[in-house]
Structure 1
Amino acid sequence: MRDLVAGMTYLAQGQRWVGRNRRQWGFGLLPGLITLVGYAAAAVVLAFWADDFVAWATPFADDWGSPWVGLFRGALMTVFFGAVLMLSTITFTAVTLLVGQPFYEALSERVDLAEGGGAAESGLPLWRELWISARESLAVLVRVAVWGVLLFALGFVPVIGQTVIPVLGFLVSGFFLAEELTAVALQRRGVPLRERLRLLRSRKLLTLGFGVPLALLFLVPFVAVFVMPGAVAGATLLVRNLMGEETPEPSGEPEQGVPQPPAYW
């Protein structure tokens, strides 16, 4: 449980860091605002077509009597919007990080310098960093889409589909959201996607403690735009813990029996 609390603390520390550096926070709002406009337009379209989509996907229920067809399709609408929320949360972060790549990388470097006196540099040109970021974000989104399809299918299971599955969806969203945000600092350290996923899995509670509250915050309209700069700062602090660097864990010691991963320079 210490790791779970520590993950939440890193999220709060990141928000405090940008609160002390208002200029960096202000510039960090621009990528999120640009992305938000596109997602708002997509949400309007989805709201109009969701009923038709669920009806098209369940033609076998057309002959069901009332109220069963309404209850069944209403439950599926809940699962459908849950899957959409999970996917939109991850994709919003990925798109915002891609749009704001130069700023967020500079922000992450400043956090490293403030905390440890030094910051890793990838040494790659900007176009190369953007290409790697886009390619690895796409690979993450494929994994998220697979989880989304699986959870949507499990949503057909009575009771579990409307209780356990939404909770599992938030856990999956939180994990991959943390992956996207920590990628900014880990890419500078030369850690590829596969190793990043291994690092995060080695400290699941720490990762979920950071990512799940953020996923819940992202459900509130416009909140994602305002917390993104602080989320990047907090993710950098989280990375310093994962890599065994100088920043101490804010709450307790690492879980017993979990080895500290080596640095990948």
Structure 2
Amino acid sequence: MDPHKQTQQKSGVNYFIMGFSLIKRPGLRRFVFIPLLINLVLFSGLFYLAINQLSRIFDWLSLQLPSYLSWLNIILWPLAVITLLVVSSFIFSSVMNWLAAPFNGLLAEKVEQLLSGKALNTGSNMDVIKDIPRTLSREWIKLKYYIPRALIFLILFWVPLLGQTVAPVLWFLFTAWMMAIQYCDYPFDNHKVPFSDMKKALNNTKGSSFSFGATVTLFSMIPIVNFVVMPVAICGATAMWVDKYRDAYRNPAIAPE
């Protein structure tokens, strides 16, 4: 089969799954380990503090409940911990995208180099440090794009009937789109492709963009597993960049319109 056709047939799901094998490659492990270590340390610390607060709340609750309702603690504790894991993982992943942004861009660069056989950046480590303000500025652009649209979708949850039927579906699709934007943006940004052009390119390949984003969203909902979602998604998104977009943006004359 023609390799070009194989590339076209590969879905976003395939690229995300490909990320699991890429993060284990010897040349990439150290770039995966640093953001993972930061993620683990911060998340563990915050989770420890949250558990301590929950313990105090349940101690107070035990004093308020009559003895014949003490069995509720057995049910409420696991529910509280699971809820804390799920909610905190979503909030924490957003914070980590900011803290790990420079490392994420570097990881995307190394994955592209591994897959294409060509180095992207020949500058020094100091050049990478100097680029941090621009990288964080790009994260701010993504946040400004996300917040007003997220608020509109969240308002739909308060609309009778729509909030229980259409709104959850629209929210999932919007989240999938944002996940595609979040992680595909790293290789695009490494090549200084403007944010608007990146969105247009992803929009022109809606099938792979949404399937990739939806897969990232589903894996992000799984506690513990979501620790590795970020580097896996970056590796998968970069593989998608190399296959679908890289050649076009290296030759602006054929860049997606």
Same fold (TM over 0.5): yes
Deviation at 1:127, TM superposition (A): 4.2
Say if 2:115 and 2:242, in contact at 8 Å, map to a contact too. no
Q: Distance in 1 between matches of 2:159 and 2:115?
A: 48
2:23 to 18, 22, 27: 18
Q: Which residue of 2 aligns with 1:109?
A: 109
Aligned residues: 211
Q: TM-score, normalised by structure 2?
A: 0.68
CA RMSD of aligned residues (A): 3.6
Instruction: Report what 1:228 is aligned to.
Output: 230
Cα displacement (A) at 1:235: 0.9
Instruction: Provide closer, same or farther for how the CA distance between residues 129 and 109 of structure 1 changes in structure 2, counting only shifts above 3 A.
Output: same
Larger radius of gyration: 2
Residue type matched to 1:96 in 2?
A: M
TM-score by length of 1: 0.66
Query: Residue 177 of structure 2 contacts residue 209 of structure 2 at CA under 8 Å; is this kept in 1?
Result: yes
The CA deviation at 1:201 is 1.3
Unpaired segments ≥5 residues, structure 2: 1-6, 55-82
Structure 2 CA distance, aligned partners of 1:193 and 1:141?
12
User: Structure 1 residue 129: deviation in Å?
Assistant: 2.5
Tell me by how many angstroms 1:41 deviates.
Answer: 8.3
Give distance in 2, aligned partners of 1:146 and 1:34.
Answer: 31
Deviation of the 1:11 alpha carbon: 0.1
Structure 1 residues 232, 42: closer, same or farther in 2, change over 3 A? farther
1:52-67 paired onto structure 2 within 5 Å: none
CA distance in 2, matches of 1:26, 1:160: 43
Cα distance in 2, alignment partners of residues 130 and 192 from structure 1 = 17
Deviation at 1:38, TM superposition (A): 7.6
Aligned-pair CA distance for 1:96: 2.2
Q: Which amino acid aligns with 1:13?
A: M
Q: Is the alpha carbon distance of 1:134 and 1:207 closer, same or farther for their aligned partners in structure 2, counting shifts above 3 Å?
A: same
**Structure-to-structure mapping, 1:140-219, within 5 angstroms:** 140-219=142-221
Look up the match of 1:262: 255
Q: Is the 8 A contact 1:14 1:231 kept in 2?
A: yes
